[in-house]
Amino acid sequence: MFETFCLGVALTVGQGGPVQPIPAPQGRAVVGDEAPRRIPAALPAVTVQTAPVQGIPVQMKDVPMTPAAPAAGEPKSGNGEAKEEEKKEEEEPEEVGHFMQLVSGTCLGSLLEEKKIKVDGWAAMSYTYTNPQQTTNLPVTWNDRADSFLFQQFWVNIEKATDQESKEVNYGWKVAFLAGSDYRFTTIRGLFTDQLKNHRLDPNEPNGYQQNLYGVDIPIFTASAWLPGIGGEGTEVTVGRMFCQFGYESVMAPTTPLMSRSYSFNWAPPFFHVGVMATTIVNKQLTVKNMIVNGNDVWFDGSQEWRYAGLVTMTSDDGNSSLSLGTSLGRGKFNSGRPAGPAQGYTTLGLAYEPAGRNNINVFDLVYTQKLSDDLTYALELIYGYQDGVPAGATGDAGNFNGAHGTARWFGAVKYLTCNFSDELSGILRGELFYDAEGQRTGFEGAYWAGTAGLQFKPTSSILFRPEVRYDYNGYSRPFEGKHGIFTAGADLIFKF
């Protein structure tokens, strides 16, 4: 019955991410020696395994709300008055965070205001109960530790945004700092990866080594220039390390819909890109992003490969629906000559853990959102990815491709339904089907069915509490420490400043 329900949900959903298998602890049979990307590379099909964490770090956009109609008996505004109202709404200043309020009126506050620099951020923590009890919830992420508290993100943004209303060329920049357990899933190949090294053995862990759960990262550092009138309303050129621009869920805790992430976010696409991006605002209904990047989730460690990434977003005239098409497209060939695993000293499972070699996945992503009513929003994400030249040892079964090399494929479909019960409380349902054909992304072959129900409680503008319950099932493989299914229940708490 559950599979039937999930199938119905998943057929209207969509999205996913790449992985490689993780070597089993000493004494265990190893089905693959390659790990996926978003988290640990795909895990080998044996007793205990883990999967890579990779996902699309794309910030969710709020669906614009149409203005309420005038109450009965009230005079209707004329066309000029309506336009004046719209203008006032558009010019309404954005909410100021606690830090900026705290320093307001001080020398520091005056300096930041003069330079048009904004500082904000958040602290995010969570607890997850797991049944059956085990060490890790992988390939469920980022709340991957079973029956454990995690301080996941202490995140600080420092930004001088470009002025896209200006008719003159102007410049901006942004830097983000992260500390917490999520550093494992944001740290890209070749940048701050020494934190992933730990040679102490632990037979309870999927790859047999103790895990360095806490560390730091600089997930974003960019410089931008606004060029008005180029390509339509204008084009912003950005250089540096930035989020992958497509997808529905987010690396940033406050802007992703639920505490846990979908398989389609973690295992199908990349999280970050390093390179140059041109964001062209053609008009209010059409935005185009073109990127030349050095690969997926990689710095400059010798394994990078230049590729194209892009996104086209179309929005309806009334702002109630949107459609986005994104891709990361390059040679798409696995590089077995560039491993990053225990043999190279890396033992903590995370985004940069690739013991079988370097992933160069190609991904295509579609996201559709629709405002059904003032309080009900629907979203669908579909994602497809593939990679050529994958060795059988980097998949969930060493017998794949007749023990040689072949093309690994994966597909994800995710549906979200969000209902706003009040200004403070919302409910979210997420249903997903993620098919890992050869087990190259998660380390285990077959279809994953996952259903999640959660709440978002926002008692103040700076506090967000999100409890959820979730069930995952794979009838073909046993990815959850030797079991077909896993039930998790937990919550995260986010303080914004």
> pLDDT tier at 154 (50, 70, 90 boundaries)?
very high
- pLDDT, one tens digit per residue, over 311-328 is 999 999 999 999 999 999
> pLDDT tier at 98 (50, 70, 90 boundaries)?
confident
Structural domain includes residue 479 = yes
Tokens of 100: 């900026």
Amino acid identity, position 244: C
- pLDDT, one tens digit per residue, over 217-253 is 999 999 999 999 999 999 999 999 999 999 999 999 9
Q: 443 or 81, which is more confident?
A: 443
- pLDDT, one tens digit per residue, over 458-467 is 999 999 999 9
Question: Does position 1 have pLDDT exceeding 50, yes or no?
Answer: no
pLDDT value of residue 94: 65
Residues 47-76: what's their mean pLDDT?
A: 36
SS3 112: helix
SS3 449: strand
The closest of 239, 237, 247 to 269, measured between CA atoms, is: 247
Residues 93-103: what's their mean pLDDT?
A: 81
Tokens of 457: 């409680």
Structural domain includes residue 113 = yes
Question: Does position 436 have pLDDT exceeding 90, yes or no?
Answer: yes
> pLDDT tier at 344 (50, 70, 90 boundaries)?
very high
pLDDT value of residue 95: 73
Structural domain includes residue 302 = yes
The closest of 358, 356, 315 to 334, measured between CA atoms, is: 358
- Give per-residue burial for 206-229: e unless 16+ CB within 10 Å, then b: bbbbebbbebebebbebebebbbe
| Residue listed under structure tokens 């409380």 | 425
Average pLDDT, the chain: 86
pLDDT value of residue 27: 32
Q: Dihedral angle at the C-alpha atoms of 327, 328, 329, 331, nearest 10 degrees? A: -160
The closest of 247, 143, 206 to 442, measured between CA atoms, is: 206
Fill in the DSSP letter of residue 298: B
Considering the chain, what percentage of its residues have pLDDT values greater than 70?
A: 81
Say which residues have a Cβ less than 8 Å from residue 178's Cβ, sequence separation at least 6: 153, 154, 155, 186, 216, 217, 218, 219
Structural domain includes residue 456 = yes
Question: Does position 343 have pLDDT exceeding 70, yes or no?
Answer: yes
Query: Are 360 and 295 a contacting pair, CB within 8 Å?
Result: yes
> pLDDT tier at 11 (50, 70, 90 boundaries)?
very low
> pLDDT tier at 93 (50, 70, 90 boundaries)?
low
The structure's pTM equals: 0.82
Q: What is the number of other CB atoms lying within 10 angstroms of the CB of residue 103?
A: 16
Gap between the Cα atoms of 404 and 406, Å rounded: 7
Gap between the Cα atoms of 493 and 497, Å rounded: 13
**Angle 179-351-25 (CA atoms, 0-180°, nearest 5)?**
110
Q: What is the CATH number of the domain that holds 211?
A: 2.40.160.10
pLDDT value of residue 103: 87
DSSP 223-284: EEEEEETTTSSEEEEEEEEEE-S--SS-SSGGGSSSSSPPHHHHTBS-SEEEEEEEEEEEET
> pLDDT tier at 75 (50, 70, 90 boundaries)?
very low
Say which residues have a Cβ less than 8 Å from residue 414's Cβ, sequence separation at least 6: 10, 13, 14, 15, 248, 262, 264, 380, 381, 430, 431, 432
Cβ-based burial of 477 (10 A; exposed 0-12, middle 13-18, buried ≥19): buried
Residues 160-182: what's their mean pLDDT?
A: 97
Gap between the Cα atoms of 430 and 418, Å rounded: 9
Question: Does position 216 have pLDDT exceeding 80, yes or no?
Answer: yes
Structural domain includes residue 81 = no
Residues composing the chain: 497
Residues 40-65: what's their mean pLDDT?
A: 36
Gap between the Cα atoms of 248 and 11, Å rounded: 17
Domain that holds residue 13: 2-61+96-496
Gap between the Cα atoms of 265 and 414, Å rounded: 10
Question: Does position 337 have pLDDT exceeding 80, yes or no?
Answer: yes
Q: What Rg do the C-alpha atoms of the chain give, in angstroms? A: 23
Residues 410-423: what's their mean pLDDT?
A: 98
Tokens of 207: 């790859």
Query: Are 31 and 44 a contacting pair, CB within 8 Å?
Result: yes
**Angle 484-487-489 (CA atoms, 0-180°, nearest 5)?**
160
**Angle 321-327-329 (CA atoms, 0-180°, nearest 5)?**
170
Residues 46-59: what's their mean pLDDT?
A: 36
- pLDDT, one tens digit per residue, over 266-322 is 999 999 999 999 999 999 999 999 999 999 999 999 999 999 999 999 999 999 999
Structural domain includes residue 88 = no
Half-sphere exposure of 53 (CA within 13 A, CB side): 26
**Number of compact structural domains in the chain:** 1
Q: What is the number of other CB atoms lying within 10 angstroms of the CB of residue 372?
A: 14
Structural domain includes residue 20 = yes
Structural domain includes residue 91 = no
